Structure 1
Amino acid sequence: MSIGELVVVLGSVALVVSRWLPSAARRPTAVAAVVVVLAGVAVGLPEIRWPVMLVLAADLLAAAVWLLRRRRWPAVSASVACLALIAAGGGAAWALPVPEFPEPSGPAAVGTSVMQWADPARDQRPVVVQLWYPAQAVSPGAPRAQYLGRTRREAKTVAAAEAAYLGAPAFVLDGPTRAHSHAVVDATPAAGRFPVVLFSPGLGGVRTQNTAWAEDLASRGYLVAGVDHPYDSAAVILADGRTLRTRVTADGDRAAWVAARAADLRFVLTRLGGVGPADTTRAAATGHSIGGAAAMRAAEQDPRFTAVVNLDGGPDPDQGPLRQPVLALTHELKDRADTDYVALLSKILGGGSATSYRLTVPGSAHLTFTDAPLFLPPVPSLAGSLGRTASVRMTVETTAAFLDTTLRGSTADLPAALSRHGELHTMPAG
């Protein structure tokens, strides 16, 4: 909840209560409350979020209560209704905030660019990629990147598509469309070449779903490439303005989607070979949920990938052993399905030819490893119980430690760094 929204809520409560104060204090309190509400609205301009509209509706009803001077019980009922509206609006503003992205922890500024490539081997399949990379120093006042899209309009389209895919009304994701991250669009890259981290989002997910994680890695010296998978991501908006809607369903051909995503990752890695700051000789395939499965499949098929990070993704049953080291983060295990998924994952990792790691994070849920805790209600079954920014920090610290070891040759104690965040299982090379 923003400061302006909090001011509106508090002023509105005071306005409702003023009707029931002693006569000498009633009118001055009401006038002061109205001034406070108007000040809060002014802070929130030029746009007012829908939860605040509920609170302002309560204010209009509170004004009507003043007309019920001698009709006590109707006034009591109206006042209770006002307080209920204020509670609903204030609660929604708190539970569904405009996300505030954590400040990246690395020494470098962060730039971001969006690219679009067509794969000639697959009927010119269009793949939209967003890069986050270390940048030269930027002005503190430089405009920051819009979240979820190149523009606010694009962000609204993507958010509405994501909400529809999840079966939720579009207003639930209104907050993220108003957010800006820390990256500066098309900032000049810092000198040097940087290890590459390719990222595949969850089922129906979009390239920006792990922006906080991507920006932090970029500030530490990595080039992160988030991939929109056409006809899989909820909405992929092309450079010419066309929108490619998702065709995936939860009970569809999962193996085909994993294969298509893996091919996208291999194609993007090839194209990044022509991007100046990208050092594709040090590249990790990463992903969340089904994107984690796609990362493992891409690494199985392509030896150019040096390492793999799987963020709570169940692999395909026919996934083969990998030659690359793997870090698999999993949510807290609660039922038989979780146990079966982890057993398959452990079997695959144990059969690999490099040492891999499986880390089960207490208090985590499936969406803990994304940006979702920053803007969804803090419900443990939905976003985990680690907290809004602590979830991002955990994902960054574990994956950065692993990538520093596998892509940069760090000699730090990786098992110790990982085990601080959960139950660690090391899979020795088979």
Structure 2
Amino acid sequence: MIRIRRTAAAAALALVLPLPVVAAGQAMAAPMSAPFIAASSNPNLHADLPSPTGPHAVGREILHFVDEHRRDPWVPSAGPRQLMVSLYYPARPGTGGPAPYMTTEAARLMLQMKLPGTTIPAEAVSRTRTWAHSGARPEHGRFPLVLLSPGFTMPRTELTSLAEDLASRGYVVALVDHTYENSGTTFPDGRTLTCAICDKPPAGGSGVVAESRAKDISFVIDELTGRRHPRRWYAQMIDAGRIGMAGHSLGGAAAVPTMATDKRVRAGVNLDGTMDAPVPAAGLGGRPFMLVGHDMGGVVDPTWASAWAKLDGWKRWLTVSGSNHGSFTDVPILAEKLGIPEPPGTTISAHRSVQITRAYVGAFFDLHLRGIREPVLDGPSAAFPEVEVRR
């Protein structure tokens, strides 16, 4: 069963909550209802992502990887599995040019899936202001690698603000699109491939999709760290002994099967994803893991309770009051600019939700990949009273 952690009151807000709970075999839930469709057709409308908080300028490259040893699991006739990756990295200031948020066609398809009938122009999303620069010269040095996986049906761009912030703090960040699992992925030849499994999830549901994503992530690690291409410039930037993974919704749930099958991933974060691919009975070999979720009004996701009991290393369970399922992504920033209301019960602003997500995910990787002590992870913080920390 494909599902996410969410509250029933927000069922209609399909852009803010990318994938509501569905019964096994059903199609994805209904799109946003008519009263919530923004009517602006201003061609100059666009959102601005919050500026990164770290000391480094940020570069970005778009990479196309082809796994010749694995046929695409969702569209076998397409041939080898192909993936698009946005690679963010610490860069030299003043180099490169502005990096676009996403292609106009990918933005159009996302709006079509999430807000059918809306008059919002695709350019309002594709022109979202980012802080990264395409073609920027990389900083000297070797940096930890963090892989990011988006929620089911959502393009990789939903985690851009997190990726930019981590890169500004001294990480190389690989933001992965999982082909045929989202509204649209644009390839170098101009094709934008749409979702093949959104309306008809595969047998086995989200657990099977999460396991497929684990294979995607391991392949991307192979490509980035030089096992096959040691002379690529980014392989020289990455410290292959310090690798972590985080993701939102199904992308967060995929961190568990990734860590279970790939020992190179030393630490993982699940941002509000139901864990239908369970933690192995033997745990994750003592490696650290963090759960970050929205407040479900006292209801506990049973997959999280089960995972918590099996996690055998450093662990934290964070609950962010006033948040919703999309609060850990760029979606609230886009929704605010486009005039789309947050789900009922949401009390934190779009910028505050980005601030919290960046602070805690960054602290987690600083602690476990760089050895920097982060007291914010140890209990209540006056700077973040919305966050409950369970040890």
* TM-score, scaled relative to structure 1: 0.71
Amino acid at match of 1:345: W
CA drift at 1:349: 2.5
CA drift at 1:241: 1.8
Q: Which residue of 1 aligns with 2:208?
A: 256
User: Cα deviations across residues 339-398 of structure 1 (Å, max 9, x unaligned)?
Assistant: 342x32132133122021110100100010000111104634179331121111110001
Tell me the matched-pair count.
326
| Native 8 Å contact 1:289 1:310 kept in 2 | yes
Q: Map of 1:329-348 to 2, 5 A cutoff?
A: 329-334=292-297, 339-341=299-301, 343-348=302-307
Q: Work out which of the residue numbers 217, 220, 244 in structure 2 matches 1:265.
A: 217
| Native 8 Å contact 2:360 2:377 kept in 1 | no
Q: Which residue of 2 aligns with 1:325?
A: 288
Q: Work out which of the residue numbers 339, 356, 361 in structure 2 matches 1:394.
A: 356
User: Cα deviations across residues 304-331 of structure 1 (Å, max 9, x unaligned)?
Assistant: 1010011111101544232321111101
CA drift at 1:217: 0.9
| Native 8 Å contact 1:133 1:221 kept in 2 | yes
CA drift at 1:146: 0.7
- State the SS of the aligned residue for 2:260: helix
| Native 8 Å contact 1:405 1:414 kept in 2 | no
Q: Which residue of 1 aligns with 2:91?
A: 135
Q: Which residue of 1 aligns with 2:246?
A: 286
Q: Which residue of 2 aligns with 1:187?
A: 136
**Alpha-carbon separation, structure 2, partners of 1:269 and 1:210:** 19
Q: Which residue of 2 aligns with 1:375?
A: 334
CA drift at 1:93: 8.2
| Native 8 Å contact 1:195 1:222 kept in 2 | yes
Q: Which residue of 1 aligns with 2:16?
A: none
1:238 is the counterpart of 2:187: yes
Amino acid at match of 1:355: W
Q: Structure 1 residues 164, 282: closer, same or farther in 2, change over 3 A?
A: same
1:122 is the counterpart of 2:85: no
Q: Structure 1 stretch 265-274 or stretch 238-247: which is displaced more?
A: 238-247
**Alpha-carbon separation, structure 2, partners of 1:212 and 1:237:** 20
Q: Map of 1:26-425 to 2, 5 A cutoff?
A: 92=40, 98-123=46-71, 124-138=80-94, 143-148=97-102, 155-169=103-117, 171-172=119-120, 174=122, 175-249=124-198, 252-253=201-202, 254-274=206-226, 275-316=235-276, 318-320=278-280, 321-323=283-285, 324-334=287-297, 339-341=299-301, 343-376=302-335, 377=339, 379-381=341-343, 384-416=346-378, 419=381, 420=384, 421-425=386-390
| Native 8 Å contact 1:402 1:414 kept in 2 | no
Q: Structure 1 stretch 253-262 or stretch 128-137: which is displaced more?
A: 253-262
| Native 8 Å contact 2:279 2:311 kept in 1 | no
Amino acid at match of 1:394: I
CA drift at 1:231: 0.9
- State the SS of the aligned residue for 2:82: strand
Give unpaired runs (5+ residues) of structure 2: 1-35, 72-79, 227-234
| Native 8 Å contact 1:272 1:280 kept in 2 | no
Q: Structure 1 residues 115, 317: closer, same or farther in 2, change over 3 A?
A: closer
CA drift at 1:167: 4.6
| Native 8 Å contact 1:98 1:179 kept in 2 | yes
User: Cα deviations across residues 215-240 of structure 1 (Å, max 9, x unaligned)?
Assistant: 11110001111001111122111112
**Alpha-carbon separation, structure 2, partners of 1:173 and 1:393:** 28
User: Cα deviations across residues 115-165 of structure 1 (Å, max 9, x unaligned)?
Assistant: 0111122132111100111001216xx6311112xxxxxx22111211222
User: Cα deviations across residues 60-112 of structure 1 (Å, max 9, x unaligned)?
Assistant: xxxxxxxxxxxxxxxxxxxxxxxxxxxx9998589x95211111111110000
CA drift at 1:252: 1.7
| Native 8 Å contact 1:287 1:309 kept in 2 | yes
| Native 8 Å contact 1:366 1:382 kept in 2 | no
Q: Which residue of 1 aligns with 2:19?
A: none
| Native 8 Å contact 1:367 1:382 kept in 2 | no
Q: Structure 1 residues 225, 317: closer, same or farther in 2, change over 3 A?
A: closer
- State the SS of the aligned residue for 1:423: strand
Q: Which structure would you say has the larger Rg?
A: 1
Q: Structure 1 residues 91, 416: closer, same or farther in 2, change over 3 A?
A: farther
| Native 8 Å contact 2:41 2:119 kept in 1 | no
Q: If each structure's helix is expressed as a fraction of its own residues, which one has the higher value?
A: 1
Higher relative contact order (CA 8 A, sep 6+): 2
**Alpha-carbon separation, structure 2, partners of 1:90 and 1:122:** 42
Q: Structure 1 residues 245, 382: closer, same or farther in 2, change over 3 A?
A: farther
Amino acid at match of 1:327: M
